[in-house]
Structure 1
Amino acid sequence: MLLAGRYALTAAVRHDAEGGVFLGREVSSGAEVVVKQARAHTGVDRAGTDARDALRHEAALLARLAGQGLAPLAVELIEQEDSVFLVQERIAGQPLDDWVAARLRRDGRPDVDWAEAGPVAHGLLDLVEQVHAQGLVLRDLSPGNVMVRPDGTLRLAHLELAAETGRPAGSAGAPGYRAPEHGPGRLAAADRGRVAHPAVDLYALGGLLFLLATGHDPLLSEDLPRARPVAERLGRWLALAARTGGTARRLAPAILGLRAEHPRQRWGVARVRAALRDDLLVPPDGTGARRAPGYGTGAAGPPAFRPRLRHGGPRLRPDTTGPSGAARPAGTTGVSGA
């Protein structure tokens, strides 16, 4: 297919009733592009906007972030028949989940080696900080939306759900990365009262660091009888990974700080950086994190959870479900599909 006489579409990444995502190239220059399509009268929300409006919104945000090294360059917005097409730069590299999976397969570790994970962790902090400095909240920060380029730098892949800070915004986010205040099961009236807040991205950032530290998405079964608090279950999982994984030991305190259930208790980017700079570790024996100045309290509210584990085999098991929620043997690690 030739779009607007200029872009040859060569492969479909996704195609459904709302439109699709295609790979292609600009005919005259040969430059590789990604083309997103949105059809009329699909994806309509309560405000009456449809998928085309969402794609126009994404194009405007890409233009706003142009030149900052955060997201693809928007090449052209094309309106044709009942569809809108956004042509954007194609970013070479791998989605973060694929990047992690490849490294776990290579050496069999429970985490990505810190020599590689460290720059990515700091790159994630930079991405979130810079987006928030622009007055935006991503609202869908997940492994599939972060690209790791061949030189190790990061780029955001999709911005369709990003919103101005403080603007009304409905529930958004991938399972395991969606903040609890934006989770399912809320009343419609509460949904109308939600606004885009940076704390949502901080919670998702903790999930991405958890992926680097354990090789898993931070998905926990919600229907287990007498399930322990989420923070404790994540802490036990991290403590087990920290026994042999240096990255898990380095990142565990920051992950638990970012994953606080109450938004006001979540660590900010500056505090995460300070924890990494101070080399705040969870010891490999699983006895808990060394306490550094200020560690253990959120920005407001009660102290954040800090794992204190006893020695003794099975009692140290993390949550026994893998990324898909299916049961897996205690102590196994890796990425689904690895």
Structure 2
Amino acid sequence: MTAAVRHSAEGGVFLGRDTATGAEVVIKHARAHPDAGRSAADARTSLRREAELLRRLDGEGLTPRPLGLIEQYDSLFLVLERVPGRTLGSWVAARQWGTVRQLGAGGQWGNGGPDAAWEEAAPLASGLVGLVERVHARGLVLRDLSPDTVLVTPDGGLRLVDLELAVPAGTVAGSVGTPGYRAPEHTGPHRVGRALFSTDLYALGGLFFLLATGHDPLLADDLPHARPVAERLGRWLSLAARDGGTALRLAPAILGLRAERADHRWSLDRVRASFAWSVPGGPSGTDQANDAGSPVPAGAVDGPVPAGAVDGPVPTGVAGGPARAGGSGGLLAVAHGVDGPAVAARKANGPAQAPDVGDIGALATAEASR
């Protein structure tokens, strides 16, 4: 062991070095202590379960490789390869911070909004779909897909870290997850139910929202009369899409994945189809929009779409400034790759045509009424 990342009553996370090869590693430690934060099981039982899941996924390029499971007295140690990179939350924050630095020096906001530029966000959005699809193909539900559990490597690849909450689909499990990314059916204390793929779909929509707006999809209580979540997210996306190409392109998928009812959430195939038309280097080799210049591909919404935008005052803090000065900074993910200085500001990346952002508000209204 060379350094401590975190300590707790249950164990900790450490950095280390293989004395034979010199390779850097990450070490997760679990003591004989109840895993009180997530279940009544011994923390070592949870770590053994995570080690087994990592072995099942080893060689797939989805997770850090498990290198060893060592038991010593009342402690258990899981040794993992150390993957260079940064958390997805930190990746988004770095682009925001680069933009703020340019603005402070008298420059301009990259593409005018707080989102990640589409030329950078598109490969990540596609990669996230593929990542979830491959995990689900192996019969697993992540249950905690969040900006802290996705690592972006220097070459733009994606890895999943901290899989201790993942379980086989259909397993009866308690309510867990990160606020803003936890599905409504798993929100609230003492909830128990079967782990379903739709839980991860909801979280995936949250990651898309982060790419599109620079914010976690957290909404304050709406009083005195709560409006549908889809309508509120739709307004936020409409504001972001006025200047941000990523919000424009991902809005339909975000609203489809964030449906309150699990059986209304879009499939991964439908998500892929909804934004494949605007991925750089697509079928025609260019960044395309549909013929009408609308952010909503044909067939993206079931039923009629009301005309007009969702009007109203702009909520404080929605349209400007970074929400993540330092990123999410998940400790285990930070252990794999330490963040460097903020990267350069994103390039201006507006769409070839200027679509009516009111279409997003109309789409949100349609989704909210389903």
TM-score, normalised to structure 1, is 0.84
**Partner residue of 1:292 out of 293, 298, 303:** 298
Residue 259 of structure 1: aligned partner: 258
Distance 1:19 1:26 in 2: 21
1:310/1:86 CA distance change after superposition, 3 Å: closer
Report the secondary structure of 2:97's partner residue: helix
**Partner residue of 1:170 out of 146, 170, 174:** 174
Residue 65 of structure 1: aligned partner: 57
**Partner residue of 2:12 out of 20, 40, 48:** 20
Aligned-partner residue type, residue 77 of structure 2: F
Deviation at 1:224, TM superposition (A): 3.4
Q: Decide which moves more: 258-267 or 108-117.
A: 108-117
**Partner residue of 2:88 out of 64, 75, 96:** 96
1:295-322 Cα shifts (integer Å, max 9, x gaps): 223xxxxx699895156xxx152xx3xx
Deviation at 1:279, TM superposition (A): 4.0
1:79/1:33 CA distance change after superposition, 3 Å: same
1:288/1:230 CA distance change after superposition, 3 Å: farther
Deviation at 1:146, TM superposition (A): 0.3
Distance 1:246 1:184 in 2: 35
1:201-237 Cα shifts (integer Å, max 9, x gaps): 0000000000000000000113633232111111100
Q: What are the within-5 Å matches in structure 2 for residues 237-252 of structure 1?
A: 237-252=236-251
Q: What are the within-5 Å matches in structure 2 for residues 164-313 of structure 1?
A: 164-185=168-189, 188=190, 191-192=191-192, 194-222=193-221, 224-279=223-278, 289-290=295-296, 292-293=298-299, 295-297=300-302, 308-310=308-310
1:235-272 Cα shifts (integer Å, max 9, x gaps): 10001000000011000000000000000000011101
Residue 165 of structure 2: aligned partner: 161
Q: Decide which moves more: 217-226 or 203-212.
A: 217-226
1:133 lines up with 2:133 in the alignment: no
Q: Is the 8 A contact 2:146 2:178 kept in 1?
A: yes
Distance 2:310 2:41 in 1: 54
Q: Is the 8 A contact 2:252 2:296 kept in 1?
A: no
Residue 332 of structure 1: aligned partner: 320
Distance 1:26 1:214 in 2: 41
1:312-334 Cα shifts (integer Å, max 9, x gaps): xxx152xx3xxxxxxx4452242
Aligned-partner residue type, residue 336 of structure 1: R
Q: Is the 8 A contact 1:65 1:71 kept in 2?
A: yes
TM-score, normalised to structure 2, is 0.77
Q: Is the 8 A contact 2:97 2:325 kept in 1?
A: no
Deviation at 1:170, TM superposition (A): 0.9
Residue 331 of structure 2: aligned partner: none
Deviation at 1:27, TM superposition (A): 1.3
> RMSD of aligned C-alpha atoms?
2.5
Residue 44 of structure 2: aligned partner: 52
Distance 1:167 1:307 in 2: 43
Q: Which runs of 5+ in 1 are unaligned?
A: 1-8, 298-302, 321-327
Distance 1:101 1:59 in 2: 31
Deviation at 1:25, TM superposition (A): 1.0
Aligned-partner residue type, residue 256 of structure 2: G
1:306/1:177 CA distance change after superposition, 3 Å: farther
Distance 2:301 2:274 in 1: 11
1:307/1:40 CA distance change after superposition, 3 Å: farther
Deviation at 1:37, TM superposition (A): 0.7
Residue 75 of structure 2: aligned partner: 83
Report the secondary structure of 2:233's partner residue: helix
1:226/1:288 CA distance change after superposition, 3 Å: farther
Distance 1:38 1:304 in 2: 54
Aligned-partner residue type, residue 256 of structure 1: L
Aligned-partner residue type, residue 87 of structure 2: P
1:34 lines up with 2:40 in the alignment: no
Distance 2:306 2:249 in 1: 14
Aligned-partner residue type, residue 55 of structure 1: L
Distance 2:39 2:200 in 1: 24
Distance 2:216 2:86 in 1: 17
Q: Is the 8 A contact 1:13 1:22 kept in 2?
A: yes
Report the secondary structure of 2:266's partner residue: coil
1:288/1:180 CA distance change after superposition, 3 Å: farther
Distance 2:317 2:256 in 1: 27
Residue 346 of structure 2: aligned partner: none
Q: Decide which moves more: 53-62 or 108-117.
A: 108-117
Q: Name the structure, 1 or 2, with higher relative contact order (CA <8 Å, separation 6+).
A: 2
Q: Is the 8 A contact 1:231 1:305 kept in 2?
A: no
